[in-house]
Structures are given as C-alpha cells and as structure tokens.
C-alpha cells in the first residue's frame, strides 16, 4: 500500500461543475400549452440537456501540489530506478525507425518485425540499399506497413542527403523527417540524446488525465502540463515511468489501483481503492 503524504489545504482552484450553465435548462422548462402532451421541442431540449449534463460530468481536478508530484515520481524512481523503453534498437537510427514504425502499433509487434530487419539495415545507407519492397516484407505484420516503408526509405534518403547520414539532434530537424512527428522527436531526443523531453503516447495521455496530474484535451496539452509540473530532477526518466505505469498498472479498461504506488495521490473518481 502506498503511504500517504500530507496535502496542502490550499491550491484548489477548480470551478464548480456546470455552474452558471442555464440556457438549455431554461428552454426545457418552458411551460407547455398543449394539455400535457410532450412537444418535440421540449423532448429535444431535454435530450440536449442530458448530453450537456454528461459533458459537464467530466472530472474536475484539484491541481496536484508540488509535493504530491515530487512524491509520485520519488515512488516511481524507488520502484524502478533505471526505467527502459521497450522498443528494441541498436543505435539512434534504428531507434528513429522503430518509433516511426510504432505509430498505432504495439512495441511488441514492432520488435518482432525489427529483430530480423535491424541486423541487416542499421544505417540509412543499408536501409536504402535494402529498398522499399524488401523492407515491406520485413514489416508487413505492422499496421500501415506500406506507408511506413515508404516513409522509412524517404527518411533514410533525407538523412543521407541533408544530415550526413546521422540522426539530427534538434526537434525541428527531427520533425522534418518523413513519418516523424512531435512524439517521434521527443522519444529520439530523450532516448538517443538524453534530453528531458516528454513524449505523450496513449498511456501517458491516459495517466496524465486520469490522475489529474496533467489534464489536457490533446497530447500536446498533456505534454506541456507534465513539463510544467514534473521536477527537473525526474524529467529524464519521467516519460518511461509514466508509459510503464499506464502499460502495466493504470490499464485502460481495468486499472490495477490496488497495487498502484500512487493510489493515494491519484484523483480519478473511479479508482477502485
């Protein structure tokens, strides 16, 4: 059982859910003049009212205190001092390729395909020599493999022609590569070059929102909120701790709250402890 820490009594800035939202309710409450028969307008307004109520039922979180965030990451660190990403790779180039291949696919599925691919194509030159058609054969078990094969060949070409065959070290350059977006850049900057970036995948997005630590409607919002609240000393590994927490403990369908090391800090109203 995770131990409790004392919480600051201040810092609650959450607004009361649904306060001041009246227009839909007023419409539904208009007096009926047809001897009690439900008008389509009133019925429709009621339905809209229900939907609005459901939307406003999204959890409102009290911002985590700095002490709470520090304590959460202290516990993650204690449980797993050197967290590792699970995408197998041999060097920055194969890491970049693995991340590009992992879009909408599992790390395990990508690893299965790249175990045979990377030993023969661990540089942009070798990947180009392999060619798109043969590359497709190696990765055909991965979703969207045709597009991904095209992108990997195109990014290998670009690395050779514009970056001397090396993986660049800046976000802008990484994001300019075919098939690479912000998440890819963040993973490569973090894992290959030791920069304290926060890549938000589906697991990090869920944990950030569910716990209330860094709520956001988009991955970018969650990323920026996490960067804002996580103490610098934990930033290098924070991305892996959160991914592993989401993958093995805070599962999408059945979170394992009973064994969760931050279950006393988590603000999810549906947590099971």
Active site amino acids = 183, 201
Contacting ligand SF4 (CB under 6 A), which of 102, 156, 197, 263? Answer: 263
Q: Is 102 in the site for ligand SF4 (CB under 6 A)?
A: no
Contacting ligand SF4 (CB under 6 A), which of 30, 81, 268, 269? Answer: 268
Q: How far is the CB of 249 from ligand SF4 (least distance, A)?
A: 5
Contacting ligand SF4 (CB under 6 A), which of 27, 52, 160, 257? Answer: 257
x/- letters, 215..254, toward ligand SF4 (CB under 6 A): ----------------------------------xx----
Cβ distance to ligand SF4 smaller for residue 210 or 237: 210
Q: Segment 196-215, which members bind ligand SF4 (CB under 6 A)?
A: 210-211
Q: How far is the CB of 263 from ligand SF4 (least distance, A)?
A: 4
x/- letters, 152..191, toward ligand SF4 (CB under 6 A): ----------------------------------------
Q: What is the 3-state secondary structure (H, E, C) of the chain?
A: CCCCCCCCCCCCCCCCCCCCCCHHHHHHCCCCCCCCCCCHHHHHHHHHHHHHHHHHCCCCCCCCCHHHHHHHHHHHHHHCCCCCCCCCCCCHHHHHHHHHHCCCCCHHHHHHHHHHHCCCCCCHHHHHHHCHHHHHHHHCCCCCHHHHHHHHHHHHHHHHHHHCCCCCCCHHHHHCCCCCCHHHHHHHHHHCCCCCCCCCCHHHHHHHHHHCCCCCCCHHHHHHHHHHHCCHHHHHHHHHHHHHHHHHCCCCCCCCHHHCCCCCCCCCCCCCC
Binding site for ligand SF4 (CB under 6 A): 210-211, 249-250, 255-257, 260, 262-263, 266, 268, 271
């Amino acid at each position: 059982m995770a131990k409790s820490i004392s919480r600051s009594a201040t810092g609650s800035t959450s607004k009361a859910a649904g306060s001041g939202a009246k227009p839909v309710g007023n419409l539904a409450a208009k007096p009926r003049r047809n001897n009690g028969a439900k008008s389509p307008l009133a019925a429709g307004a009621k339905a809209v009212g229900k939907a609005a109520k459901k939307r406003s039922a999204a959890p409102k979180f009290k911002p985590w205190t700095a002490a709470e965030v520090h304590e959460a990451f202290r516990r993650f660190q204690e449980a797993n001092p050197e967290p590792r990403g699970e995408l197998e790779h041999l060097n920055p180039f194969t890491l970049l390729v693995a991340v590009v291949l992992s879009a909408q696919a599992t790390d395990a599925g990508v690893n299965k395909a790249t175990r045979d691919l990377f030993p023969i194509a661990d540089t942009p030159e070798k990947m180009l020599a392999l060619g798109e058609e043969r590359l497709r054969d190696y990765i055909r078990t991965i979703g969207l493999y045709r597009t991904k094969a095209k992108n990997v060949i195109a990014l290998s070409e670009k690395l050779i022609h514009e970056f001397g065959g090396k993986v660049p070290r800046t976000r802008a350059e990484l994001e300019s590569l075919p098939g690479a977006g912000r998440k890819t850049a963040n993973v490569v900057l973090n894992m290959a070059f030791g920069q304290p970036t926060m890549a938000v995948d589906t697991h990090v997005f869920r944990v950030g929102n569910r716990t209330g630590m860094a709520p956001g409607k988009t991955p970018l919002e969650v990323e920026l909120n996490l960067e804002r609240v996580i103490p610098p000393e934990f930033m290098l590994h924070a991305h892996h701790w959160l991914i592993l927490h989401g993958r093995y403990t805070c599962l999408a369908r059945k979170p394992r709250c009973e064994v969760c090391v931050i279950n006393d800090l988590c603000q999810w109203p549906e947590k099971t402890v």
